[in-house]
Structure 1
């Protein structure tokens, strides 16, 4: 039935499918393959590695640079790949650099698989770059991996996003939504992420990544929290909320659909609390 739908409806459908389902659907016929190639080409990428656990840390002052930890399938743990989120202009400007760095990372993944088979230890990423660089490159610092190119090539089972403010977290969410990333389960530990605008609310309600992958939100309480908690896609989530106002606490007490709501900090009138409980 899906194969005969107009392209617009096919696009809406594949946006809500897992990357594995999109890839399988793409091979159903030539027309669907063309639609996927044009609009979700990341779904056709080969996974270079499987990560049991990955972390994205927002510890740089720049909202677009992060550290990316990866626990590889063979038990090797890489502490802090430097990653960057490019804007549209920089994607073009640094395209050659990013492709070269990504090519080196792919070779590094193959090297890790080889070491795994031989049950040997592995060199850290920066050591590998230094040992295998061209003499003319003269790389003295660890190169940044472009996140929009890296994420679609990793099968991530558990992802934790840590210590990001709202701008950083918003940038990551946009990349994960656009990249058709395969992430089974995610946790957001970002108490400094303060969302308050209408565009922030739209990001929450429209994000496929937040809907499909995130199990736990630890953020500052947004003013639209009551609306989120009543949406079907957020009812099975756990919420760890800070800086909640009295009005927000009262409104959340009346939400019965949410799986878990824990107020980490905030204000609540005892009288209003008892009134809601006894209602």
Structure 2
């Protein structure tokens, strides 16, 4: 595709590619190889294969410029101190940083050469092998813009804690030319999430693709749920929500194709109403471990009232699957009760399914009085 563009435009495009992408471009043909060799030779240097990159879980307003790296599954090297240079500092510290980074490259290759080598910590290697410091405490921090410039990071985990700290690190990672394959963001404290954070997420290049977004709500409100769930950049994100109550009826309006709710409570009828109003798109969702909460009281529910709500929406539907269980009530005999029911919805855009089922594996005598429910949307 780029063959028809002049060299100057291709050179400009290299500024927006990771080293891995630039190397792929270089191998397209001789012309591309020549352009990359002349203008971005670092892209053709050997890459560092990192299985997992993690930053420590911090308390609010706590900062710690350290990270942990797994070169092989099972061994984690860290903490590895790092720093984030400003543009003028990059120029001033270029030679010093290059020497320390060269030592880290040797360490990474040493760890990659043999599974057992990963047990040696970076600081120990830096002191004993490269002698870049006399003690472990004196090992200098590695500049973040260089640290992952040649890296292919297969799994990246980051916990959203303090907002300023989070964006400091993310902005630092945006300066690198490394590749991050699987990004997992964990948010466990809703108070750190603000309108300013939402604006940053919208424009941050690093946040344009997040593979998994895990959020533990602690039965509190979902902040900015309607904006977050409908951002186009999160369409292919796998959402995992836990301990959710307020705002659960807004979840059906999410545009994501994959979503899991593990625990929470809300009105089952209001959730069904939201699903019938929400735009239809491809979904593979699981909502489990939920309780039917009606005006702050857990109440039983029935398949009949759910079907009645679907009918009132005016859509064409049919019941395509039933699962029954049996209760023994002594002299009253055996009673058949519904355990699961699947409704197929025929929308103009897409045919989709709502599978509603009771969560208990065993059938207790009071199953019809149980407020618990599970939902699958597919």
Q: Same fold (TM over 0.5)?
A: yes
Question: Do 1:151 and 1:181's aligned partners in 2 also have CA atoms closer than 8 Å?
Answer: yes
Aligned residue number for residue 120 of structure 2: 123
Question: Do 2:124 and 2:136's aligned partners in 1 also have CA atoms closer than 8 Å?
Answer: no
1:189 aligns with 2:192: no
More strand by share: 2
Deviation digits for residues 186-238 of structure 1 (CA, Å, limit 9, x no counterpart): 2112324733235x3343233443334x2111357442x42343344312212
Aligned residue number for residue 170 of structure 1: 167
Alpha-carbon RMSD: 4.0
SS of residue paired to 1:158: strand
Matches within 5 A, 1:12-27: 15=16, 19-26=19-26
1:203 aligns with 2:200: yes
Higher RCO (Cα < 8 Å, 6 or more apart): 1
Shift of residue 153, structure 1, vs aligned partner: 2.5
1:77 aligns with 2:73: no
Question: Structure 1 residues 104 and 10, CA, compared in 2 at 3 Å: closer, same or farther?
Answer: closer
Question: Do 2:150 and 2:177's aligned partners in 1 also have CA atoms closer than 8 Å?
Answer: no
Q: 1:33 aligns with which of 33, 36, 42?
A: 36
Structure 1 unmatched ranges of 5 or more: none
CA distance in structure 2 between the partners assigned to 1:42 and 1:60 by the alignment: 37
Question: Structure 1 residues 19 and 94, CA, compared in 2 at 3 Å: closer, same or farther?
Answer: closer
TM-score normalised by structure 2 residue count: 0.56
CA distance in structure 1 between the partners assigned to 2:172 and 2:229 by the alignment: 24
Q: 1:218 aligns with which of 214, 224, 239?
A: 214
Question: Structure 1 residues 239 and 98, CA, compared in 2 at 3 Å: closer, same or farther?
Answer: same
Deviation digits for residues 143-187 of structure 1 (CA, Å, limit 9, x no counterpart): 212222111222211121136422222223223333232122121
Question: Structure 1 residues 100 and 72, CA, compared in 2 at 3 Å: closer, same or farther?
Answer: same
Shift of residue 23, structure 1, vs aligned partner: 1.7
TM-score normalised by structure 1 residue count: 0.72
CA distance in structure 2 between the partners assigned to 1:181 and 1:105 by the alignment: 15
Question: Do 1:45 and 1:152's aligned partners in 2 also have CA atoms closer than 8 Å?
Answer: no
Structure 2 unmatched ranges of 5 or more: 276-308, 314-378
Name which one, 1 or 2, has greater alpha-carbon Rg.
Answer: 2
Question: Do 2:237 and 2:256's aligned partners in 1 also have CA atoms closer than 8 Å?
Answer: no
Give aligned pairs, total.
266
Q: 1:180 aligns with which of 177, 199, 203?
A: 177
CA distance in structure 2 between the partners assigned to 1:42 and 1:57 by the alignment: 30
More helix by share: 1
